[in-house]
Each structure stands twice: as structure tokens, then as C-alpha cells.
Structure 1
């Protein structure tokens, strides 16, 4: 009987039940905790449009824009799921020594990519009293989200804005 309670399967089951209880408790606390009203929450930051956006004459029709946004959202979700799967597999594979495992050869190759050594650059700037290391912002990320549109609303609201 004691063996049954200590098996890995039982441990996973108990761990899963405890995880479910903790999540249920967290959900209960969140449901009774005061929340900010939408007016209190800051609006998400938006970057300015790039310089090469469509002009009014080149603007595609609304159905093409909706299809592109739907495809972008689908592909983004698919990429996110693939990334999670890749990270999970990499956790196992990163710890393996190079070799052949069944039908798979695991090995490493040196990267040809390089990145600036910010710690060394910062040290050099400080040593020569050059002030802070100059930084530039990254390109803004493109986001799409489905919204509820009233039936009488203009389909291309972005054009009027």
C-alpha cells in the first residue's frame, strides 16, 4: 500500500490536484479583489505608423484587410504554440551530450550571429567618462485583435482616424 502512495504516477496526480486547488484559490481571490475600472487603467501604448503605409488610393478593400488580420492572428497563435513546444523539447535536448539517439543525431554548431557585449561597452564608456551608452528603440510590434463592431459602424474606421 505504501508503495502505491509513493509511485511517480500518484505523485503526479497529487501534484496536479494541489495545483488545481491553488489555481481555484487564486481565482477566488481575484474574483473578490477590487479591480480597477477601465477609466483607471492606462491605455496601451501605441507606436506611430511607419512612413510607408497605404495611401487612400492604394488602400485594399475591407474584406482583404479582415482576411489579412485573421490570418495574421491565426499564424501568430500557431507560432506561439510552436514556440512553447520547441522550448519544452529544447529543455530535454539541451542537456544531452552530442551523439546519436535512436534515429536522431544531436550536435551543436557555432553560431555565425554576433551581438554587442553591452557589459564591456558600458565598462568602456564609464572608463572614458562618455556618459550612458546610446540606445535606440526596437521596431514596434504589429498587433491585431478582434473587436465587436456595431452593424451601422463604418467598416474602415482606421481610414477615418
Structure 2
């Protein structure tokens, strides 16, 4: 019984419960302490990639606005679809393979591969090669509507 109470899993559970209780007390005593001060912070921007339009190649502003509107609509639709997919997957992931009503649930091996970073790190450490070299991922494209249109195009 004592071993059950001192296991790492139990300790994490107890810490989690204590954190939840502490947050609940703080939310009654000082609710503002749960929210970090958020000033109007400009989002961090990444440098522009290569291969962009030159100044004389830029499409019309109306074309750019239509593309941005479509991008935002499609991104929102994709987020909603992804949330629905994740909710359904919570149920389906736990099912054994089989036929359920008119649906067959099964799994296929993935053809994708990813580097085994734990093994790569082990090899680097074993051969004193220093840290594993990493590179940044591509920047994400974001669009957001602004209140006042710009008089000039930023180039």
C-alpha cells in the first residue's frame, strides 16, 4: 500500500490535484493572478522567404484581398474539421480492428519515416560529436484583417 502512495505516477496525480485546488482558491481570492499581463504585443515575424513577387509583379490589391479572405476562410474550416477529426479519433483509436455497423475499423502501417532523435543523440554522445544539429522549420503564413487599409503596399 505504501509503495502505491509513493509511486511517481501517484506523486504526479497528487501534484496535479494540488495545483488544481490551488488554482481554484486563487480564482476566488485573486482571479487576476491567474491571467498573465498581456499588453498589445506585436507578433514575432519571421524573415520573408526567397522567391517572392518583385515590385512590378505584384497582383492587384483586390486579388490579394480575395486570396487573404479565402486563406482565412479555408484555415478556419480546416481548424473546425481538425477538431471534429480529433474528437472522433478519441473514440476510434481505442477500438480493436473490426466491423462496426456499416464501418470497418482497421490500421495500416505508415509509409512515412522520421529520424529517431533518441538514437541519433546517443550516437552523437557516444562519439563526442557535440549536440545534434537542428534547423528551424519553415515559417507559417498568417493573415489577419486590419481596420484601416494601407495606402501603400509594403515592399
Change in Cα spacing, 1:34 to 1:117, as seen in structure 2 (3 Å) is closer
Give, in angstroms, the shift of residue 56 of structure 1. Answer: 1.3
Q: Using the alignment, how far apart are the partners of 2:139 and 2:124 within structure 1?
A: 28
What is the deviation of 1:57?
Answer: 1.4
Q: How many residues align?
A: 129
Residue 110 of structure 1 is matched in structure 2 by: 109
Measured in 1, the distance between the counterparts of 2:108 and 2:37 equals 50
Matched, 1:29 2:31: yes
Residue 73 of structure 1 corresponds to: 72
Change (3 A) 1:50 1:98: same
2:138 counterpart residue number: 139
Residue range with higher mean Cα deviation, 58-67 or 45-54 = 45-54
Partner of 1:149: 148
Residue segments in structure 2 that go unaligned for 5+ positions in a row: 1-23
Q: Which runs of 5+ in 1 are unaligned?
A: 1-21
TM-score, structure 2 as length reference: 0.75
| Mapped partners of 1:143, 1:36: distance in 2 | 21
**Aligned-pair CA distance for 1:139:** 0.4
In structure 2, relative to structure 1, the CA distance for the partners of 1:34 and 1:48 (3 Å cut) is closer
In the TM superposition, residue 98 of structure 1 has moved relative to its aligned partner by: 0.4
CA distance in 1, matches of 2:147, 2:140: 23
| Residues 53/99 of structure 1: CA separation in 2 closer, same or farther (3 Å cut) | same
User: Offset of 1:45 from its aligned partner?
Assistant: 1.5
TM-score, L = length of structure 1: 0.72
Q: Work out which structure has the larger RCO, using CA pairs closer than 8 Å and 6 or more positions apart in sequence.
A: 1
**Rounded Cα–Cα distance in structure 1 between residues aligned with 2:115 and 2:93:** 24
Gap change, CA 1:86 and 1:34, over 3 Å in 2: closer
Tell me what 1:95 maps to: 94
